[in-house]
Amino acid sequence: IKKIGVLTSGGDAPGMNAAVAGVIRAANAKGIEVYGIRDGYKGLINGWFEKVDIDFAQEILTRGGTRLGSARLPEFKEESVRQIGVDNLKKAGIEALVVCGGDGSYMGAQRLTEMGINCVGLPGTIDNDIVSSDYTIGFDTALNTIIEAIDRIRDTMQSHNRAAVVEVMGNHCGDLALYAGTTTGCEVISTSESKLTEEEICEQVKVLAKKGKRSVIVLVTENLYDSNALAKKVEEKSGYVTRATILGHTQRGGIPTGMDRYLAVTSAIYAVDQLAAGKGGVYVGLDGNKLVARDINSTLNMPRKDKSQELSTIRLLNSQFKK
Ligand code: ATP
């Protein structure tokens, strides 16, 4: 194998650049040329390829976002559209691809593999929602960003005897809320896997108000409630002045942490090994602190991660303030 491509796809995540840098370093060490593909699958069908070298790797390694760019291209689900990408790759002599992104991006990678271009996926998303990978590239950075934001919000809530509803990302995975809530002492945590009703949340905050608690933070995963409306209800029921803070895109950017950089670079090295061994249709994940490559197809029907320990943590944290 002489030439490979690398692209980032889906939502950006801190550490995607480190993953691309890792691909370049690993490939160059094996005498393989690397082509960066701009804007994910969109660049694939438009032929937006550029040769990337060790200096490019050094320049991007520590930066947030994705220097190659990312985009969503729903049309990529159509075989005729993917064929344009396959033809472009063949014309450029690119034999295989590393795709850094989420579940959807893996599906594209699987389809391309079926069409003759071996692809390996890297878990690039802040949501930590890749089935059977313990952690994803970007999760640790986003978690630390959220922790910093909640610590700041706590200062104001404590100063003014208030409550806050804080909404974080995670798509349908509650890990960002669980980890952030546990490490900042949020009084109420509601995630996709352990969802409280609005009434339960209000009741819990009311109990805390009665006990004279100086500040309260209710931490929720996105897509569960209208957080502004929830804050109003909490205020009505508890008497605390309550505002919602939706952290939004502040969670996605920023300089990747050491853990994210390490996971990105080591996963990338592992991915290049897979391609060099002629494998495709797999994605790299962490399993008990070891890198593994799993068939993309085999994980389609896999159950979500076992969350029983996490759920009991949330139940305990939520119950300790009850009457
Ligand atoms: P995130 O977790 O940030 O949402 P993702 O990779 O899951 O990342 P998606 O928008 O689901 O994000 O997918 C990214 C791109 O992958 C899509 O825009 C599309 O180009 C491609 N893709 C998604 N599903 C398929 C599919 N079934 N077949 C082919 N390509 C797909």
**168 Cα: distance to centroid of ligand 1 (angstroms):** 21
d(CA 271, CA 266): 9
Lowest model confidence (mean pLDDT) among 103-107, 148-152, 157-161: 103-107
Token representation of residue 287: 């399993």
**10 Cα: distance to centroid of ligand 1 (angstroms):** 6
Q: What is the DSSP string of 176-219?
A: HHHHHHHHHT-SEEE-STTPPPHHHHHHHHHHHHHTT-S-EEEE
Question: Is the separation of the CB atoms in 108 and 41 below 8 Å?
Answer: yes
pLDDT in tens, 81-127: 999 999 999 999 999 999 999 989 999 999 999 999 999 999 999 99
Mean confidence (pLDDT) of the chain: 95
d(CA 28, CA 46): 25
Question: Is the separation of the CB atoms in 70 and 39 below 8 Å?
Answer: yes
Catalytic residue among 12, 39, 127, 260: 127
d(CA 231, CA 242): 6
More confident site: 320 or 153: 153
In this prediction, residue 312 carries a pLDDT of 85
Token representation of residue 163: 């409550």
Q: Would you call 127 a catalytic residue per the annotation?
A: yes
How many other C-beta atoms are found inside a 10 Å radius of the C-beta of residue 308? 9
The residue-averaged pLDDT of 167-195 equals 95
Residues with CB under 6 A from ligand 1: 9-11, 41, 72-74, 76-77, 101-105, 107-108, 111, 125, 127
In this prediction, residue 256 carries a pLDDT of 98
In this prediction, residue 301 carries a pLDDT of 65
d(CA 86, CA 78): 13
Question: Is the separation of the CB atoms in 214 and 116 below 8 Å?
Answer: no
Mutational test site, ligand 1, from 8, 70, 73, 76, max ligand atoms within 8 Å of CB: 76
d(CA 280, CA 6): 14
In this prediction, residue 70 carries a pLDDT of 97
In this prediction, residue 319 carries a pLDDT of 80
- CA dihedral sign, ordered 111, 117, 123, 127: negative
The residue-averaged pLDDT of 243-256 equals 97
The residue-averaged pLDDT of 195-199 equals 96
Among 220, 208, 224, residue whose Cα is nearest residue 245 = 220
In this prediction, residue 322 carries a pLDDT of 62
Question: Is the separation of the CB atoms in 198 and 237 below 8 Å?
Answer: no
Among 52, 39, 66, 44, residue whose Cα is nearest residue 3 = 52
In this prediction, residue 149 carries a pLDDT of 98
Task: Find the angle CA(159)-CA(163)-CA(167) to the nearest 5 degrees.
Answer: 120
- CA dihedral sign, ordered 173, 178, 183, 186: positive
d(CA 283, CA 137): 13
**112 Cα: distance to centroid of ligand 1 (angstroms):** 13
For the chain, give the number of residues: 323
Q: What is the DSSP string of 60-76?
A: HTT-SS-TT-----GGG
CB neighbours of 195 closer than 8 A, spacing ≥ 6? 224
ipTM higher than threshold 0.95: yes
Predicted structure pTM score? 0.95
pLDDT in tens, 50-81: 999 999 999 999 999 999 999 999 999 999 99
The residue-averaged pLDDT of 125-148 equals 94
In this prediction, residue 321 carries a pLDDT of 66
Residue 263, phi then psi, degrees to nearest 5: -60, -40
More confident site: 312 or 191: 191
pLDDT of 199 > 80? The answer is yes
pLDDT of 323 > 70? The answer is no
Which residues in the chain belong to E strands, given as ranges? 3-8, 33-37, 49-52, 96-101, 118-123, 163-168, 188-190, 216-221, 242-246, 282-287, 290-295
The residue-averaged pLDDT of 130-149 equals 94
CB neighbours of 26 closer than 8 A, spacing ≥ 6? 268, 269, 271, 272, 273
pLDDT of 202 > 70? The answer is yes
The residue-averaged pLDDT of 179-203 equals 95
In this prediction, residue 132 carries a pLDDT of 72
d(CA 196, CA 178): 13
Mutational test site, ligand 1, from 46, 86, 105, max ligand atoms within 8 Å of CB: 105
pLDDT of 305 > 80? The answer is no
State the pLDDT confidence band at 317, using cuts at 50, 70 and 90. confident
